[in-house]
Structure 1
Amino acid sequence: MPTDEKRTLHRALEERVVRGEGRSAVELRTQAFANEGVPAALGVLVDKIANRPTQVTDSDLQAAKASGLSEDELFELVVCAAVGKSTRLYDAGLAALEEATDAS
């Protein structure tokens, strides 16, 4: 599969995760995807999902749930945080590859 097609498919995934049908607000999904501007009650969970997923605890989930969001909404935000982080890593990898290829 050519790189352009992979990027197109990845962008479609991003669009679907952030703006597709869901229970949580698009604004919250966008914030979780970017790991920026997330309300404090959700910030710890979203940041851990994005940067230290092995450190997520039951208490992190309970604290986020105490914010009043349903489990479905929290699941969507967790997915957004994970896909957002993977997107940033993917884009950085492609940029590094392009830079290394251009330097040759």
Structure 2
Amino acid sequence: MPENDDKRVAHDALVDSVLRGKGRASADLRARAFHNTDVPPPLHGLIDKVATRANRVTDADFAAARQAGISDDQLFELVVCAAVGHSARLYDAGLAALAAAIEEAE
């Protein structure tokens, strides 16, 4: 797949904005949520659910994060980071599978 593909450019811009754009949550915490790694305990359950089984997220997950002092703005940003991170991993895996299939067919 060409690296300058319009879809890849748009995807990369989205990821860059989510990770490095202005926000209430720190860039480090946004990166942790995006990668679903080393997320602090008050947020780990929520972020992991968003990244791996979003249909299981509950109000209690948000309440636990709020009780730990995480603001609604920060929660919103971190949930978006987790969702975009998961989506990015699926996108990359799909592109890799497509490239492998094309290579195998040739």
TM-score interval (norm. to shorter): over 0.9
Partner Cα distance (1:100, 1:82) in 2: 27
- Residue 71 of structure 2 corresponds to 70
Deviations along 1:9-52, one digit per CA (max 9) or x if unpaired, are 10110000111011110000000000001001100000000111
Partner Cα distance (1:69, 1:60) in 2: 12
TM-score normalised by structure 1 residue count: 0.96
- Residue 8 of structure 1 corresponds to 9
2:14 aligned partner, one-letter code: L
- Residue 22 of structure 2 corresponds to 21
Partner Cα distance (1:7, 1:67) in 2: 37
Over the aligned positions, Cα root-mean-square deviation in angstroms equals 1.2
Partner Cα distance (2:63, 2:47) in 1: 13
* Structure 1 residue ranges, 4+ long, deviating more than 2 angstroms after superposition: none
Q: What is the count of residue pairs matched by the alignment?
A: 103
Deviations along 1:85-104, one digit per CA (max 9) or x if unpaired, are 00000000000000000000
Gaps of 5+ in 1: none
TM-score normalised by structure 2 residue count: 0.94
2:52 aligned partner, one-letter code: N
- How far apart are residue 5 of structure 1 and its match? 1.3
Partner Cα distance (1:95, 1:66) in 2: 41
How much identity, in percent, do the aligned residues show? 55
Aligned runs of 1:1-104 on 2, under 5 Å? Answer: 4-104=5-105
Gaps of 5+ in 2: none
- Aligned to 2:74, what secondary structure does the other structure show? helix
Partner Cα distance (1:63, 1:71) in 2: 12
